[in-house]
Amino acid sequence: MRRGFWSGARPAGKCSPSHASQHPNASEKSGGSGSAHRASRQPIAAEVSPPAVTSLEVKGSRVSPSRQSVVVRRSGAMALEAALAAVKGPGEAEGILSRFNEQNKAIFKFEPSDEEKRKQLCEEILHLLDKEIKTSCRVTCLEALRILSRDKQVLVPVTTKKNMQILMKLAKLDSLEDPLEDMTDFPVIVEALKCLCNIVFNSPAAQKLSLELNLAAMLCNLLKKCKDQQFVEDIKCFDLRLLFLLSLLHTDIRSQLRYDLQGLPLLTQALESAFSIKWTDKYITAEEQETSPLSVQETDCAIEALKALFNVTLDSWNVHSENDSHEFRYMTAILRHCLLTQGPTEDKTEELHSNAINLLSNVPVSCLDVLISPSTQENTEEADIKYDGMNMDAFRVLLKFMEKRIDKGSSYREGLTPVLSLLTRCCRSHRNVRKFIKAQVLPPLRDVSNRPEVGTTLRNKLVRLMTHVDLGVKQIAAEFLFVLCKERVDSLLKYTGYGNAAGLLAARGLLAGGRGENWYSDDEDTDTEEYKSAKPNINLITGHLEEPMPNPMDEMTEEQKEYEAMKLVNMFDKLSRDKVITPMGVRPDGTMTPLEEVACQYQRNEPESSDSD
């Protein structure tokens, strides 16, 4: 599933979720946004290495990058040896490990020559954590282990059943009934969860052990403890992140969460707790004129819950019971509130909405009508969010999100196809949604002097995507516009021109005209007077008004016309023989086929002539 969109490193200890990346760490990351659809949009948390330094000032002299790297390697090796000696010896290890952590907090690539020493340090730290030591020392040890766990090669001694149980105990995952009361333990719990995130993400052995140790069930239990507790946002955030990673890496855990551990209502409750939702009716939240943005912690928790819910609901295309329907409709009502909520920054808001859209793509289409709510505000300042007495503000947000992703001009498959797919599903199934969105995207035509793909309107931008180089992008963009036109070929051609729509029509077998297979209401489009007057002069291929052009053959003699015609025939013949082009014909069902095949079929069907009387 899910992509990497990173823009700088975050300090250790900040809870900040992310999307897919190739970087090998899962407990910390830099902020990012965007999502992919289905298999390509599984997000994975990650750390990002800081920008490279090209020189270093040492005692007033400038050191070259190559000499600088030698200095850094020697310094790192000395810090590693000092840390290893400290945890092995009887003395105080906390101070030396703190210096090791400070020196290596931004290191993501380690020297292969020190691999064995790092393995030893991991083992010694875990031995130390298994003893009774003061809380501050535990936190320091766990920070060091988190840094070391960025390296996949040193995790062999860590991924044993005993060592995993040590970390689970420190994360309070082994105690089923004890509430989270001692706030002094909270930093230990958070750091232990961070370590588990890195280890599970980087180690297949740890992933297998997590199944054996029933880690998912323990995380669900810890999440329940966080329900009514204060000051546990970081714990909840990394608990959700670890659940997300487990459900991403193991389909068995995904199924266990969905059906055995009641993961859908539990994670939905975790998502709801990130918002200050007031319910006015079943599946309807209160609409407030002014709401304050979410805090960073609330946004991060919401994003982690959305990503975990995405995995849990990945195959939920159909509703099999009344309870399933209630769970999805309740979750959709929260997602509607999420779309109308702002994060602390514009990037965070986009990331939040992106994950909400990804999750909405998993919701059965029969439950998506919850995104529409009855309009309760009499004096709505913006009339464009109302349609037929219904509040369409969630779909206005989706349209703005879609246009913003189009304007970015990159990563269309990951960033744009989920929202286009969601809007297409909604428009196909809900008449009011389709009519509202069509009014925004394909308003009645007035000015047809420009080609459909030329301009800055949303229609122009979507028509340009119909000829995009990415097959998946152009297919979903064309499908969206086709559904808005109620799958009528003549209506689509009016808004896009034949040239832009040819790919979709060929794929759907509609080159000869007609309409798609889905049923829509019989209400007719109304053309403006401007369009009606210009219609006779509109070029059907380009879709825009063209001034009448003089016929170049008017002044030719019959011999000249014949010469030009034969010249054109010979050019086409040469292109065909050289396999540059393949002449195509249209079958009776509207699909395209090589012209030779059509001719052969015609000859076979032609009745044999007979000379008999």
> Which pLDDT does position 538 carry in this prediction?
86
Q: What percent of the chain has pLDDT over 70?
A: 79
328 or 281: which leads in pLDDT? 328
> Which pLDDT does position 526 carry in this prediction?
74
Q: In angstroms, rounded to a whole number, what is the distance separating the alpha carbons of residues 84 and 87?
A: 6
Q: In angstroms, rounded to a whole number, what is the distance separating the alpha carbons of residues 42 and 36?
A: 7
Does the residue 567 lie in any domain? yes
Among 252-261, 514-523, 541-550, the minimum mean pLDDT is found in 514-523
Look at the chain and report how many structural domains it folds into: 1
| pLDDT tens figures, 25-43 | 667 643 333 333 343 344 3
Does the residue 519 lie in any domain? no
The candidate with the shortest Cα–Cα distance to 216, out of 319, 142, 311, is: 311
Tokens of 138: 């535990």
Q: What is the mean pLDDT of the chain?
A: 82
> Which pLDDT does position 554 carry in this prediction?
84
Does the residue 588 lie in any domain? yes
Phi and psi at residue 457, in whole multiples of 5°?
A: -75, 165
Does the residue 564 lie in any domain? yes
Do residues 39 and 1 touch, judged by C-beta distance below 8 A? Answer: yes
| Burial of 548: CB neighbours in 10 Å, binned 0-12, 13-18, 19+ | exposed
> Which pLDDT does position 317 carry in this prediction?
67
**322 pLDDT higher than 50:** yes
| pLDDT tens figures, 547-600 | 777 888 888 999 999 999 999 999 999 998 998 988 888 777 777 788 877 777
CB neighbourhood size of 122 (10 A): 22
Does the residue 330 lie in any domain? no
| pLDDT tens figures, 488-522 | 999 999 999 999 999 999 888 887 777 766 666 66
Does the residue 500 lie in any domain? no
Q: Which of 231-235, 386-390, 411-415 has the highest mean pLDDT?
A: 411-415
**379 pLDDT higher than 70:** no
| pLDDT tens figures, 125-177 | 999 999 988 999 999 999 999 999 999 999 998 999 999 999 999 999 987 66
**18 pLDDT higher than 80:** no
Query: In b/e form, how buried is each residue of 162-197, taking b as 16+ CB within 10 angstroms?
Result: ebbebbbebbbbeeeeeebeeeebbbbbbbbbbbbb
SS3 108: coil
The DSSP-derived string for 480-534 is: HHHHHTTTBHHHHHHHH-HHHHHHHHHHHT-TT--B-SS----PPP---HHHHHH
Largest CA distance in the chain: 119
Q: At what angle do helices 458-465 and 431-441 cross, to 10 degrees?
A: 100
CB neighbourhood size of 292 (10 A): 9
Among 2-16, 132-146, 281-295, 326-340, the minimum mean pLDDT is found in 2-16
> Which pLDDT does position 523 carry in this prediction?
61
> Which pLDDT does position 319 carry in this prediction?
67
Q: Compute the average pLDDT of residues 409-423.
A: 93
Q: In angstroms, rounded to a whole number, what is the distance separating the alpha carbons of residues 205 and 480?
A: 44
Q: Which of 69-83, 263-277, 503-517 has the highest mean pLDDT?
A: 263-277
Instruction: Provide CB contacts within 8 A for 69, sequence distance 6+.
Output: none
Do residues 39 and 20 touch, judged by C-beta distance below 8 A? Answer: no
> Which pLDDT does position 58 carry in this prediction?
33
Q: Which helix (H) or strand (E) holds 577?
A: helix 558-577
Does the residue 570 lie in any domain? yes
| pLDDT tens figures, 98-110 | 999 999 988 888 8
Task: Name the residue range of residue 594's domain.
Answer: 558-605
Does the residue 535 lie in any domain? no
Q: Residue 21: which pLDDT band, with cuts at 50, 70 and 90?
A: very low
**449 pLDDT higher than 60:** yes
> Which pLDDT does position 482 carry in this prediction?
95
